Structure 1
Amino acid sequence: MYDNVFSLEQQLGRIRHRGDGRVQKVRREPEAEECADLVRWARRTTIAGIRVGDFLTHIPNEGKRGKKARADFHRLGGQPGYPDYLLDVARCGYYGLRIEAKAPTGGRITEDQRKWEVRLSGQGYLFAYCYSAEEMKGLIADYLKGHIEGPDSGGTAA
């Protein structure tokens, strides 16, 4: 009976075998799962003549890094808090869309992310925090269809 439970958990991806024969529980990464869902959708979706996957880019800004990787990240121009996704299509009076993906539960907004929100919004980009793949998909669809109200700054953006 217990073998079946173990096998079921293995199939669900909640545990894995380590190299030394021990079993380790796999840490879920709900934000990564939501983002992978977004990317799969983007690669097969066309809205208003735009194939979303051709213009959606992920910025690998998250995750834990070792000392050298962290130093390289900063040396090569990486900046903490920069949004996770860029959609470089001008619409609705904005130059493009910037999305900061957050975990569906417990995803908190950092001070660095707030700074980027202010900077990019001030330069004519639409900036949004999204807590699910469905929210990101809906925002992108509304943005590309022109269903987003433009900036109140007099319309200097494209």
Structure 2
Amino acid sequence: MNRQEDIEQQMIVKWSQQATIRGKYPELKLLYHIPNERKCSAREGARLKSMGVKSGVPDLCLPVARGKHHGLYIELKTKSGKVSDAQKWWQAELNGQDYLSAVCYGWEQAIKVLADYLEGKL
């Protein structure tokens, strides 16, 4: 993640933790970040890979079923961000397993997807 994506993701989490939002969507207590982006030494990278860290895994997970979906994954991008081939692969695989995997460009789009998902609109 780049610095701007970090800030946007923090805005999503901050939104999800507001009392009024949690009152409306209590399931947001289960929203979590998947810390898959790391700059580290080759040795540390090999250790993390051996523990299951995989390239392209989405940034956020909401393990809450809605409709035909088992849960929601969000790949967060800045408004000018690009989706990598590994991220496209994960999105297709997750969607194929009846999860909803969405790419969101900016925090505003991500909170709309979260709210729409929890309201059963997606």
TM-score normalized by the length of structure 1 = 0.70
For 1:47-82, what per-residue CA distance to the aligned partner results, in whole angstroms no more than 9, with x for missing partners? 655241x11010011132221221121011111000
Rg larger for: 1
Provide the residue aligned with 1:16 in structure 2.
none
2: distance between equivalents of 1:47 and 1:112? 36
2: distance between equivalents of 1:125 and 1:51? 16
Query: Is residue 109 of structure 2 the alignment partner of residue 123 of structure 1?
Result: no
Q: What is the total number of aligned residue pairs between the two structures? A: 119
4+ aligned runs moved over 4 Å, structure 1: none
Please show how residues 78-97 of structure 1 align to structure 2 within 5 Å: 78-97=53-72
Provide the residue aligned with 1:50 in structure 2.
26
2: distance between equivalents of 1:39 and 1:129? 17
Identity of aligned residues (%): 35
Which structure carries more relative contact order (alpha carbon 8 Å, separation 6+)? 2
Query: Is residue 111 of structure 2 the alignment partner of residue 137 of structure 1?
Result: yes
For 1:66-103, what per-residue CA distance to the aligned partner results, in whole angstroms no more than 9, with x for missing partners? 21221121011111000100001001210000000112
Structure 2 segments unaligned to the other structure (5+ residues): none
TM-score normalized by the length of structure 2 = 0.90
What is the root-mean-square deviation of aligned Cα atoms in Å? 1.5
Q: For the Cα contact (< 8 Å) 1:81–1:110, is it kept in 2?
A: yes
> What letter corresponds to residue 140 of structure 1 in structure 2?
L
1: distance between equivalents of 2:26 and 2:71? 13
Query: Is residue 14 of structure 2 the alignment partner of residue 40 of structure 1?
Result: yes
- Secondary structure (helix, strand or coil) at the match of 1:79 reads coil
Query: Is residue 44 of structure 2 the alignment partner of residue 69 of structure 1?
Result: yes
By how many angstroms is 1:147 displaced?
A: 1.1
> What letter corresponds to residue 123 of structure 1 in structure 2?
Q
> What letter corresponds to residue 7 of structure 2 in structure 1?
E
Per the alignment, do residues 122 and 47 of structure 1 end up closer, same or farther by CA in structure 2, a change over 3 Å counting?
farther
